[in-house]
Chains A and B, each alone.
Chain A
Amino acid sequence: MDFEQSPDRVVGTAAVGTGGRPKKAPVPVKIIVAGGFGVGKTTTVGAISEISPLTTEAEMTSASVGIDDPGQATSKTTTTIAMDFGVLTIDQTLKLYIFGTPGQSRFAFMWDDLIKGALGALVVVDTNRIDDCYPAVDYFERAGLPFVVGVNTFNGQMSYSLDEVRWALAVREDVPVLSFDARFRGSVRDALLVVLDQALDKAIRQKS
């Protein structure tokens, strides 16, 4: 991952108000790309983004949950998680942000923040490890965020059919389950368009 060099860190006065008025800020919208470790979230973000995916780190404290809980005593753990994200400029006044987020349930405490104002989510699934995406599916269902299940066909191969994936996930009938290839821009674009269709349906329902 490449990072831009930080500006020099000499203390001084900020040079503000000299470069004229800043341009009008665009309206940001966002789509979440969720899924287990190594299912192709970063590849998905990178395929559609107009910039190399950037990484932001969030440090969070949470009660540890799940199988690695050492005992009855409530233990707090501090976790640093990395989130990759990309940008797509729709036009001068509208920017689409695509955030890839760790799908494990132990990171779910930060999703409330992340999904606020989100259009919808693409849950990326590797058919060899379908259960990796359960926490994300559970969360988006409860949160009422429109989402689409996207099976990443790494080499054009899928261990299970889409019907079998739908059965295993037990998602509602109106949740689309599709396959896509995270390496190709057109394929990611089509998957995101299905997410946006869901988002549009919800927005129209809410308005009427």
Chain B
Amino acid sequence: MTYPDPDDPAHPARPSVRPFLQSGPLAAGGYRPAHTDEEPPATEQTAALRPFVITSGRTDGTDPDIGMETQVTVHPGAGPVRLSPEMRAIVGLCLEPVSVAEISARLRLHLGVTRILVGDLRAAGQLDVHVLNNETPDPETIMRVIRGLRAIT
């Protein structure tokens, strides 16, 4: 870890006790919040990643619509098709609305694998993925959460 030169005018020394504000992770190539115009780090993945057999080796190409809390249900009237055991298990969980994270936890599938398989099942017309219209919650929704949380004991 390198700290900025305090004499360097570009990095004025600050009395802050929180060193990450100026150095550390950023200098080490760290973790700024992603900008949408940047390539996701997934494109850099190489053979270092353990192959995901059940996703046919795919580790990226995840649908950005499919978040951890995204709700998934069986597509009404989906025709019977042959599915892999993992996909069949996923469809079996989605008779009631369920989140991607819950699918991952209950089936003990890695989150990344779950997201890929859910995306495949959506593309195959087996699952409905309920994508929210507005990404950031509106004040009315937050007020409902506050009221609901206040009501619990």
Contact with A along B53-91 (1 / 0, CB 8 A): 000000000000001111111111111111111011101
Q: How far is the CB of B15 from chain A (nearest CB, A)?
A: 9
CB-CB under 8 A from A76, the residues of chain B are 44-46, 48
Chain B residue nearest to A206 (CB atoms) is: B136
Instruction: Determine whether A73 belongs to the interface, using a CB cutoff of 8 Å to chain B.
Output: no
Give me the interface of B with A, judged by CB distance under 8 Å. 1, 16-21, 24-25, 28-34, 41, 44-46, 48-50, 67-85, 87-89, 91-92, 94-97, 99, 101-102, 104-108, 110-112, 114, 126, 128, 130, 132, 135-139, 141-146, 148-150, 152-153
CB-CB under 8 A from A15, the residues of chain B are 80, 92
Given the complex of chains A and B, what is the CA–CA distance between A105 and B12 in angstroms? 24
Judging by beta carbons under 8 Å apart, are A25 and B130 in contact? yes
Chain A residues touching B, majority SS: mixed
Chain B residue nearest to A171 (CB atoms) is: B18
Given the complex of chains A and B, what is the CA–CA distance between A144 and B100 in angstroms? 25
**Which of A11, A29, A67 has a CB less than 8 Å from the CB of B85?**
A11
Judging by beta carbons under 8 Å apart, are B83 and A13 in contact? yes
**Contacts A58-B110, A65-B28 hold; do A22 and B69 have CB atoms under 8 A apart?**
no
Judging by beta carbons under 8 Å apart, are B28 and A69 in contact? yes
Given the complex of chains A and B, what is the CA–CA distance between A95 and B83 in angstroms? 30
Chain B residue nearest to A91 (CB atoms) is: B148
Judging by beta carbons under 8 Å apart, are A26 and B25 in contact? no
Chain B residue nearest to A4 (CB atoms) is: B106
Judging by beta carbons under 8 Å apart, are A27 and B101 in contact? no
Judging by beta carbons under 8 Å apart, are A193 and B96 in contact? no
Instruction: Determine whether A38 belongs to the interface, using a CB cutoff of 8 Å to chain B.
Output: no
Q: How far is the CB of A208 from chain B (nearest CB, A)?
A: 10
CB within 8 Å of B: which A5-47 residues: 6-7, 9-17, 19, 21-30
Instruction: Determine whether A112 belongs to the interface, using a CB cutoff of 8 Å to chain B.
Output: yes
Given the complex of chains A and B, what is the CA–CA distance between A90 and B151 in angstroms? 9
Instruction: Determine whether A147 belongs to the interface, using a CB cutoff of 8 Å to chain B.
Output: no
Beyond the given pairs A61-B48, A65-B28, 12 more chain A to chain B contacts, judged by CB atoms under 8 angstroms and listed by A's residue number, are: A4-B106, A6-B89, A9-B89, A14-B92, A76-B48, A90-B148, A95-B69, A99-B69, A105-B31, A117-B67, A196-B146, A203-B139
**Contacts A11-B84, A54-B105 hold; do A134 and B110 have CB atoms under 8 A apart?**
no
16 contacts between A and B (CB under 8 A): A14-B88, A17-B76, A17-B77, A22-B76, A23-B97, A25-B71, A27-B141, A56-B104, A56-B105, A56-B111, A63-B29, A80-B110, A87-B99, A97-B68, A197-B146, A199-B142
